[in-house]
Amino acid sequence: MGVSACGTFAARPGLHQDALAKGIDDFYAMPTHAIFLCAVYPVIGLVLAWLAFGYPFLPLVYPLASGFALVGPFAALGLYELSRRREAGLESSASHAFDVLQSSSIGAIAALGCLLLVVFGIWIAVADAIYVANFGYASPTSLGQFAHDVLTTPAGWNLIIVGNGVGLLFAALALTIGVVSFPLLVDRDVGAAVALLTSIQAVIKNPLTMAVWGLIVAVLLVIGLLPFFLGLTVVLPVLGHSTWHLYRKVVEADASPRPQLRPRAQERRYAADFPAALFPWGKK
C-alpha cells in the first residue's frame, strides 16, 4: 500500500491545539495572503453578482459560500508544500507553493480534486432542491422578504435545519476524502486510490479526532467570513498549514518515494512573493 494508515496513531489531548499552533507558526514564517486572495475574491464576486443581477441568486449565496469548505483541501495544496518544505529545512518562499504543479503526483491530485468538485456541484443542486421544496420556484422579491421568510416562518426554519443537516453530511464526506489524501499526495508518490483509501481509513480509525477537527475548521471558517470574507485571508492559510501537521500526526509514511518534480528552468519572482516580502520574519 505504500503508507501505514494510522497504524501507530493514538489520539491524545492537545493534538488539535498542537496542529493549529504549528499552522500559525508556519503562517507567521511564510505569509501567503496573495495566494488566498485569489480564492477569496471569487466568493466576494458571487456576492457582488447577486447585488448586480438581482434576488433570484440570493438563495444560493449561503450554499456557495459554505460550500467553499468542500474544496478547501484541494485549494490548500500549495500550503501543504510550504509546510513540508519548512519542516524539512528547505527554502520556503511563496513561489514554492506552485511546485505541486510540477509534481509527478499532479494526475492523482487532479483526479481527487475533480471528485471534490463533483461533491460541491451535487451539494449546490441539493441545496437548491431543499429551497424549492420549502418555498417553491418563486424568487425572493427583496432581501428583507428573504430574511423574513427564512428566519420567521416554519418553512424557513425547516430550510435552516434540513439544509444545515444535509450540508453537515457533505462536509463530513469532503473531510473524509481530503483531510489526509491531498497532504499525502504532496508528501508521497502513492496514487489517487491509495491516498483516498488512506484518508478514509484515517477517519474511520480516528472518528472523534476528525470530527473535532471538522468542527474547528467550520468555526474558523465562519469567523473568517467576517468582515466581508476578508478574515479568510488569514484563516485559510492557517487551516491549510495546520492540516499538513494534522496529517503528519495521523499517518506514518513508510519508504514510499517522494513525488518527482520537473526542474525549474530558472528561478522566477512571483506576485505571490509580494506580501511575504513586506514581512521581515517571512524572509527567514
pLDDT digits (tens, 9 = 90+) for 128-182: 999 999 999 888 888 888 889 999 999 999 999 999 999 999 999 999 999 999 9
Burial of 160 (0-12, 13-18, 19+ CB in 10 A): middle
pLDDT of res. 279: 43
Highest mean pLDDT among 43-47, 106-110, 219-223: 106-110
Cα 284 off chain centre by: 27
Q: pLDDT band at 278, cuts 50/70/90?
A: very low
Q: What is the largest CA-CA distance in the chain?
A: 62
H or E, element range at 182? helix 181-187
Neighbours of 65 (CB within 10 A): 17
Cα–Cα distance, 163 to 172 (Å, whole number): 14
Going by pLDDT thresholds of 50, 70 and 90, the confidence category of residue 14 is confident
What's the pLDDT at 126?
95
CA-to-CA distance for 23 and 13, rounded, in angstroms?
17
Angstrom distance (rounded) from CA 208 to CA 215: 11
**Cell of residue 79, nine digits:** 500550503
Q: What is the dihedral of CA 87, 90, 92, 97, to 10 degrees?
A: -80
Q: What is the mean pLDDT of the chain?
A: 81
Give pLDDT, residue 13: 61
Task: Look at residues 240, 252, 179 and name the one whose alpha carbon lies nearest to residue 22.
Answer: 240
Residue 3 DSSP symbol: E
Evaluate whether 174 touches 119 at the Cβ level (below 8 Å).
Answer: yes
Note the pLDDT tens digit of each residue in 221-275. Answer: 888 877 667 777 888 889 999 999 999 988 876 666 777 776 655 545 444 444 4
pLDDT score, position 274: 45
For 24-38, 56-70, 106-120, 249-263, which range has the lowest pLDDT when averaged over its residues?
249-263
